[in-house]
Structure 1
């Protein structure tokens, strides 16, 4: 990998975007590497959680060339597939069978904000900037942006950001429902690791737990009695495993 770094420590896989000269804007190659890294983590039974980070700058969206190519001919096969690959970068992160955390410093813009919201949880710097970015460059949001905003933070925040282009600073993100914790810049990655460590310590349970979590918290949710049944099988599995251990 040339634009993404991947490492596993203490059952936590860390995926780091590593193209700082363009503030980690998602190229087609970076998107492919991000997908590969996510699948690598999912395929490693020793991994119990994933952290996605970008170091100093989380992600400045998609590279302009990808958007320009689609704009010149939206149905040209290569351009269409390239944009689809960028979309798959964050849809893959959002659907792998592992708990995921975004550790956000700097700015998360457009597709980069989608990537952060695709994870199960966000830990961000108080100085971070969360920006929709699409209207600012004269295009409609993409990649399910409005749905991700609504699912993460509710209708009011989704309207403020998705319709009106409001920026949310890191120190506002927790109150807006966009993050679990906002901490000093130099504490972001370690805080994310501290949160991830508890679930990652038991990779088998982590994978069962995140599956139930996503089913029960999907848009529209589940009736309580259905949630009881969804949880029954994995809980029985965990109880039997604990008894045998």
Structure 2
């Protein structure tokens, strides 16, 4: 059953454990005003409170997010740190998060897909940090997240040299996972989110937490130790043996022919 709601500038729909959070301020090209950022943070909280086990971030076309509101940047009464509430809450979500980017993400708007676990794009997507063009230093962990996906050279090319990436180029550079035609973008995001939501929610959350923690480790041995702790936890949970028996029974019925896209 689908449940829809509006939280100001971000629309929310929750269906079968999958929440779609849609930036919905197309007249301002979904610019990251403080109001939109705060609404995004609130919508993430609302989705999780309603039992969402996966989140999809989308946007009303044609622009995914035009970046920080220029009026907001001129309003020095609003602390810069307060402008990142939505992105930070999205990044901290304990469930899988998928961005479906079908238009331009500019400046701080690039932070939103960077805050997600998986980024899907259409050929119409464009990633253009453009911070320096308006005389402001990147913020919200932008450089760190960008370099984690594209490498230091990619972050330098995009931020320091003003390069930009199309959807296909974003996939080639590691910034996005898949590029599909626009009509297939959200269906693909919903399909992946649905698979995540259909899995054991406690196990999915633990695996995401382990993945996040492992990125800060220095050696494979440390990562193996971290995973061993989580793996022991998983096999000691009630219902583990029954789950294995279900998998064995399914394998006896035939190969897994699920669609991979």
Which structure 2 residues correspond to residues 226-245 of structure 1 after superposition, within 5 A?
A: 226-239=222-235, 240=237, 241-243=239-241
TM-score, structure 1 length as denominator?
0.89
Match of 2:123 in 1: 126
Would you say 1:223 and 2:229 are equivalent positions?
A: no
Counterparts of 1:244 and 1:237 in 2: how far apart (Å)?
Answer: 16
Q: CA deviation at 1:55?
A: 3.0
Which structure 2 residues correspond to residues 25-44 of structure 1 after superposition, within 5 A?
A: 25-44=31-50
Which structure 2 residues correspond to residues 59-208 of structure 1 after superposition, within 5 A?
A: 59-70=65-76, 78-80=77-79, 83-202=80-199, 203-208=201-206
CA contact (8 A) 1:48 1:204 kept: no
Runs of 5+ in structure 2 lacking a partner?
1-6, 244-261
Provide the secondary structure at the position in 2 that maps to 1:123. strand
Q: CA deviation at 1:244?
A: 5.4
Please, what is the CA RMSD of the aligned residues?
A: 1.6
Counterparts of 1:65 and 1:53 in 2: how far apart (Å)?
Answer: 24
Runs of 5+ in structure 1 lacking a partner?
71-77
Match of 1:73 in 2: none
Counterparts of 2:82 and 2:12 in 1: how far apart (Å)?
Answer: 19
Counterparts of 1:42 and 1:215 in 2: how far apart (Å)?
Answer: 21
Deviation string, structure 1 residues 110-130 (Cα, Å, up to 9, x no partner): 111011111111001111111
- Count of residue pairs brought into register by the alignment: 233
The higher relative CO (CA closer than 8 Å, separation ≥ 6) is in 1
Provide the secondary structure at the position in 2 that maps to 1:208. helix
Counterparts of 1:5 and 1:156 in 2: how far apart (Å)?
Answer: 36
Counterparts of 1:64 and 1:175 in 2: how far apart (Å)?
Answer: 31
CA contact (8 A) 1:49 1:206 kept: no
Counterparts of 2:232 and 2:21 in 1: how far apart (Å)?
Answer: 33
Structure number with greater Rg is 2
TM-score, structure 2 length as denominator?
0.84
Q: CA deviation at 1:237?
A: 3.1
Match of 2:57 in 1: 52
